[in-house]
Amino acid sequence: MRRLPLLLIPILLLLGACQSQQINRDFDASRDFAGYRSWNWQEPAVQYKPDDPRIRSDLTEQRLRGAVSEQLDQRGLRPAATGAAGNLRVQVWLIVDQRQQQVSTGFGGGFGGYWGNYWGGPAYNETRTVDYKVATVQIDLFDGKDGKLVWRGSDERIMRNDEGNPTQRETVIREAVARVLSQYPPR
């Protein structure tokens, strides 16, 4: 009975290694992030790469702006008063890259046994190229006074062919933004 929990540990570690997200962050260590209390959008607030109408949409921009506003609010950052400059200026990028990966599969061939070698049929290898898209949400925070980049975070994930309904799209964006801003403020 004690073996079961011990067997679960490698399985859990293996499943943890299968995560498809890649979260990155970088920041200016010389900045006092506790001094940043307010923010506003740097125009254009949302940038798209490539500038493709299938990616660029007012609905996507609304979802990104809403998710970023919500996450900044949870971190104690408030929108600057209308017409006032915030301590931070925020800009979001949605980047979609086309990528390729070669996958090789081998089957057949020889195998060895405990008491000697046994041989099967001929070995075959099949290599194919898989095309896929990766979406990256990148959030840049600039100092409101000098305009320099002080913090950048990004999250990338493989895009599915089935984008889902609007509720699912909003959920995916909210989760990505939450993962990115979970790294702010730097510790």
> What architecture is the 23-108+124-182 domain classified under in CATH?
2-Layer Sandwich (3.30)
- Order across the sheet with 88-108: list the strands: 22-27, 149-158, 123-143, 88-108, 38-49, 78-79
Select from 144, 150, 145, 154 the least CA-distant residue to 179.
154
Q: Please state the rounded mean pLDDT for residues 42-68.
A: 92
> pLDDT tens, 160-185?
877 788 999 899 999 999 999 998 99
What 3-state DSSP class applies to 132?
A: strand
Q: Which tokens is 167 given? A: 């509720």
| CA–CA distances in Å: residue 45 to residues 29, 53, 56, 115 | 25, 17, 13, 68
Whether residue 1 is predicted with pLDDT greater than 70 in this model: the reply is no
pLDDT at residue 109 in the model: 61
Query: What are the extents of the domains in the chain?
Result: 23-108+124-182
Instruction: Return mean pLDDT, the chain.
Output: 83
pTM confidence score: 0.76
Q: Which range, 1-10, 49-58, 115-124, 151-160, has the best average confidence (pLDDT)? A: 151-160
Query: pLDDT tens for residues 103-116?
Result: 888 766 655 556 55
